Amino acid sequence: MSDRLTVRKTYKLYLGGKFPRSESGRTYPVKSAEGSGLANAALASRKDVRDAVAAARKAQPGWAAATAYLRGQILYRVAEMLEGRRAQFVAEVRDARGGTVKAATAEVDAAVDRLVWYAGWPDKLSQVLGGANPVAGPYFNHTAPEPVGVVTQVAPQGEPLLGLVSVLAPVIAAGNATVVLAAQEQPLPAISFAEVLATSDLPGGVVNVLSGRVAELAPWLSSHSDVNAVDLTGVDDAELAAECERAAAENLKRVWRPVRPDWTAAPGLDRLRACVELKTVWHPAGL
Amino acid sequence: MFEYAPAPESRAIVDIKPSYGLFVNGEFVDPKEGGAFKSVNPATEETLAEIAEASQADVDAAVAAARTAYQKVWGPMPGSERAKYLYRIARIIAERSRELAVLESIDNGKPIKETRDVDLPLVSAHFFYHAGWADKLDHAGFGPQPRPVGVAGQVIPWNFPLLMLAWKVAPALACGNTVVLKPAETTPLTALAFAEICREADLPPGVVNIVTGAGDTGAAVVSHPGVDKVAFTGSTAVGRLIAKSVAGTGKRLTLELGGKAANIVFADAAIDQAVEGVVNGIFFNQGHVCCAGSRLLVQESVAEEVLDRLKRRMSTLRLGDPLDKNTDIGAINSAEQLTRIRELTEVGSAEGAEPWSPQCPLPDTGYWFAPTIFTGVQQAHRIAREEIFGPVLSVLTFRTPEEAIEKANNTPYGLSAGVWTEKGSRMLWAADRLKAGVVWANTFNKFDATSPFGGLKESGYGREGGRQGLEAYLDV
């Protein structure tokens, strides 16, 4: 054992491209699967949610206006950055959820591959979801998907990295900005993943990562009026989820209801479809 | 007119070897029968390198390597892993893009401005886009788990050497096929650089094989019984020969052939924008473009104004050193092509059309042709019917929109067309009636990996790029 003292990392929020502490000044202790203390994570507040939504709203138009090709390249860059820090994430995932190194490695590798999969979607989505419509008249008529806007998400509990990546990647691939609440008891890999995002040419504010309590924050994530869609994947409490759905109904947010999918299975298009709107354009054709 | 100081791009970034072998099964190998030819810089006539000439035996070896790689490695590989190889290739091309752009300009004669800003970005994008399809083929609309075709034999032209390689290789590999590719005789160097990139990406041996040579080598590739799918870009005459040689073999075939595109300027067009587009349409890449807007159809009421502005704009085009960053028009790719352009333009004059070129001094060595327009062109003139594949524009006029469409479609070709009008409905009306695989409205010569490209009629069949382009490389 070296007699050098290690320098520990302070885990904070990721908000608007910066790493602030919670404005509330609160933290909560995060423990490993074995029960030992790992770090103190920021305990985000309602005010942090509002700041994060404001940052997402500010960043979203620029992100959506970037070419699909560029968005794909940036997602691929995220995969490159994650692959480059593979060892660190294997350790963090294992600390968080316990189990074998092999299992943790599989989760990290799957997370990289998932990012690569979604990197190919921005410039293909409209070719799969949109198209020309043969209306009965001399009109050009065309339907194409566009991002729904700002999405708030509760990341799944239990797969601290793969779950987070699986819910976040489709949302930004489609051109949205997101505020995502990390797995409550295992938030550290998510905060480290924010460092990956911060070094991947992803514009600040497109992804905002909070850590804190689901019961405290999910209602605010669901009720905020400047949010277009809410993803309740990680809300395991059925009553809370129903309450969130009701809150989301106030301004008719699109709602992704809680599910416990197999994150290791190949994803379909469901999550991409859920975070786009379809726009149809008519134009007369004639002299 | 401004004076421009020379602004040459350094060629120190490229390292051209004195000689190149064939790329078979992941290795550079000498040809079995030892033939060779020279690749020449068309701007200076200097010999750049000796290139191996592949014989039937070499093509046999390449096809065998491709077959083995298809059966043992590339075909069975999960799409997600194929995707990663293609992403690697896309990234390496982007990293080495300046080097490849300079090399392309030296070997082809096209301006560095174009190789740097058009060819290379499109090449990298094409691999990136198709990398994304490799693991999403079940979403491409061809049913669940579409299968690859097998070994693709691909023959590409000299006008966009690396871009045409990308258009052929990227979709083939994404869909799980392996390839034997023959680059054009006059422009093999960037394809050989691509072979190095395949090695740099650790692409499994045999997935990409590159056999250099002339027409005989190409014929050996497309007629090889071990090839399942043939893809060719080039002249309609050769395309016809290939279609005949493939007939009855059961091989799949896609052809991207010649064109004689009409660029239609309506009276209500934004004239300056249209003139810019017309210039780009015919003088981009010295007019060595199958989809070049080589026939200008201009509405009579604005014909004089358009011509005046076109001539003024042409007078500012700079012809010369392809590596000069200010050059608009580079060298004609080969002595043979220069001869063909000269012959057809002489015919144009003899048939009664009137040529015009701006003051344009040509360098003493190399192959050059000044940008030229012909006025007084009739539809029966050969310069209005045949593909010149050079910086030569035939100008015709029309009175009614119906006449414009009729004249535009009066050709055996059907690759592309241009429409210039400020009225959206008229643009869509025209696009609806034009017999062309690509219609550009208020723009011209735009390409994108996501956008299918290909022709109607004798411009060939099949599409390259976009979701639809995958079909050519899937067994559907």
Closest chain A CA to residue B431: A285
Task: Confirm if B23 and B30 have CB atoms less than 8 A apart.
Answer: no
In chain B, what residues touch A124 (CB-CB under 8 Å)? 129, 132-133, 136, 139, 450, 467
Task: Confirm if A122 and B131 have CB atoms less than 8 A apart.
Answer: no
pLDDT for res B218: 98
Mean pLDDT of B102-107: 98
Contact between chains at B133 and A120 (C-beta distance less than 8 A): yes
**Distance (Å) from the alpha carbon of A41 to chain B's nearest alpha carbon:** 35
pLDDT for res A1: 56
Q: Which residues are CB-neighbours of B320 under 8 A, at least 6 positions away?
A: B327, B329, B330, B363
Catalytic residue among B256, B458, B464, B471: B256
Mean pLDDT of B35-59: 97
Each residue's pLDDT expressed in tens, for chain A with a length of 287 residues: 568 999 999 999 999 999 999 999 999 999 999 999 999 999 999 999 999 999 999 999 999 999 999 999 999 999 999 999 999 999 999 999 999 999 999 999 999 999 999 999 999 999 999 999 999 999 999 999 999 999 999 999 989 999 999 999 999 999 999 999 999 999 999 999 999 999 999 999 999 999 999 999 999 999 999 999 999 999 999 999 999 999 999 999 999 998 788 999 999 999 999 999 999 999 999 98
Distance between CA atoms of residues B141 and B349, nearest Å:
51
Coil vs helix vs strand at B323: coil
Locus of tokens 């469901």: A270
Q: Where are the beta strands (DSSP E) in B244-345?
A: 252-256, 262-265, 295-299
Contact between chains at A284 and B428 (C-beta distance less than 8 A): yes
Query: What is the largest distance, in Å, between two alpha-carbon atoms of chain A?
Result: 84
Distance between CA atoms of residues B119 and A132, nearest Å:
29
Three-state SS annotation for B179-202 = EEEECCCCCCHHHHHHHHHHHHCC
In the predicted model, is pLDDT for residue B1 greater than 80?
A: no
Task: Confirm if B189 and B19 have CB atoms less than 8 A apart.
Answer: no
Coil vs helix vs strand at B169: helix
Q: For residue range A54-76, what is the model confidence (pLDDT) as tens digits?
A: 999 999 999 999 999 999 999 99
Which domains can be identified in chain B, with CATH numbers? Answer: 19-257+460-473 (3.40.605.10), 262-441 (3.40.309.10)
**B471 in catalytic set:** no
Q: For residue range B274-299, what is the model confidence (pLDDT) as tens digits?
A: 999 999 999 999 999 999 999 999 99
Distance between CA atoms of residues B232 and B214, nearest Å:
14
- Which among B132, B140, B449 has CB closest to A119? B132
Q: Which tokens is A154 given?
A: 């509760």
In chain B, what residues touch A267 (CB-CB under 8 Å)? none
Q: Does A133 touch chain B if contact means CB atoms closer than 8 Å?
A: no
Please give the single-letter amino acid code of residue A89: F
Q: Does A76 touch chain B if contact means CB atoms closer than 8 Å?
A: yes
Total residue count of chain B as it appears in this document: 476
Q: Does A243 touch chain B if contact means CB atoms closer than 8 Å?
A: no
pLDDT for res B3: 83
Contact between chains at A69 and B401 (C-beta distance less than 8 A): no
Contact between chains at B450 and A123 (C-beta distance less than 8 A): yes
Contact between chains at B428 and A124 (C-beta distance less than 8 A): no
Q: Which residues are CB-neighbours of B88 under 8 A, at least 6 positions away?
A: B201, B202
Q: Does A134 touch chain B if contact means CB atoms closer than 8 Å?
A: no
In chain A, what residues touch B87 (CB-CB under 8 Å)? 76, 116, 119
Q: Which residues are CB-neighbours of B60 under 8 A, at least 6 positions away?
A: B224, B226
Residue A281 vs residues A67, A200, B400: alpha-carbon distances, Å: 20, 34, 29
A27-284 falls under which CATH superfamily?
Aldehyde Dehydrogenase; Chain A, domain 1 (3.40.605.10)
In chain B, what residues touch A113 (CB-CB under 8 Å)? 80
Contact between chains at B132 and A68 (C-beta distance less than 8 A): no
Q: Catalogue the long-range contacts made by A25-30 (C-beta closer than 8 Å, 24 or more residues apart).
A: A28/A212, A28/A213, A30/A185, A30/A186, A30/A187, A30/A188
Distance between CA atoms of residues A170 and A261, nearest Å:
15
Locus of tokens 């106030």: A250
Three-state SS annotation for chain A = CCCCCCCCCCCCCEECCECCCCCCCCEEEEECCCCCEEEEEECCCHHHHHHHHHHHHHHHHHHHHCCHHHHHHHHHHHHHHHHHCHHHHHHHHHHHHCCCHHHHHHHHHHHHHHHHHHHCCCCCHHHHHCEECCCCCCEEEEEEEEECCEEEEECCCCCCCHHHHHHHHHHHHCCCEEEEECCCCCCHHHHHHHHHHHCCCCCCCCEEEECCCHHHHHHHHHHCCCCCEEECCCCCCHHHHHHHHHHHHCCCCEEECCCCCCCCCCCCCHHHHHCEEEEEEEEECCC
pLDDT for res A260: 80
Task: Confirm if B207 and B173 have CB atoms less than 8 A apart.
Answer: yes
pLDDT for res B34: 76
Query: What is the largest distance, in Å, between two alpha-carbon atoms of chain B?
Result: 65
Mean pLDDT of B160-173: 98
Q: Which tokens is B275 given?
A: 């003139």
Task: Confirm if B221 and B59 have CB atoms less than 8 A apart.
Answer: yes
Q: Does A69 touch chain B if contact means CB atoms closer than 8 Å?
A: yes
Output phi, psi for B111, to 5 deg: -65, 145
Distance between CA atoms of residues A166 and B37, nearest Å:
54
Interface of chain B against chain A, CB under 8 Å? 80, 83-84, 87, 125, 128-129, 131-136, 139-141, 401, 424-426, 428-429, 431-432, 449-450, 466-467
Domain boundary assignment for chain A: 27-284
In chain A, what residues touch B434 (CB-CB under 8 Å)? none
- Which among A76, A117, A283 has CB closest to B135? A117
Distance between CA atoms of residues A93 and A106, nearest Å:
10
Q: Does A124 touch chain B if contact means CB atoms closer than 8 Å?
A: yes
> How many Å separate Cα B18 from the centre of its chain?
26
**Distance (Å) from the alpha carbon of B72 to chain A's nearest alpha carbon:** 23
ipTM of the complex: 0.96
Three-state SS annotation for B221-260 = HHCCCCCCEEEEECCHHHHHHHHHHHCCCCCEEEEECCCC
Count of CB pairs separated by less than 8 Å, A with B: 73
Q: For residue range B111-151, what is the model confidence (pLDDT) as tens digits?
A: 999 999 999 999 999 999 999 999 999 999 999 999 999 99
**Distance (Å) from the alpha carbon of A6 to chain B's nearest alpha carbon:** 36
Q: What percent of chain B has pLDDT over 90?
A: 99
Which candidate, A8, A156, A20, places its Cα nearest to that of A92? A8
Mean pLDDT across chain B? 97
- Which among A69, A116, A123 has CB closest to B83? A116
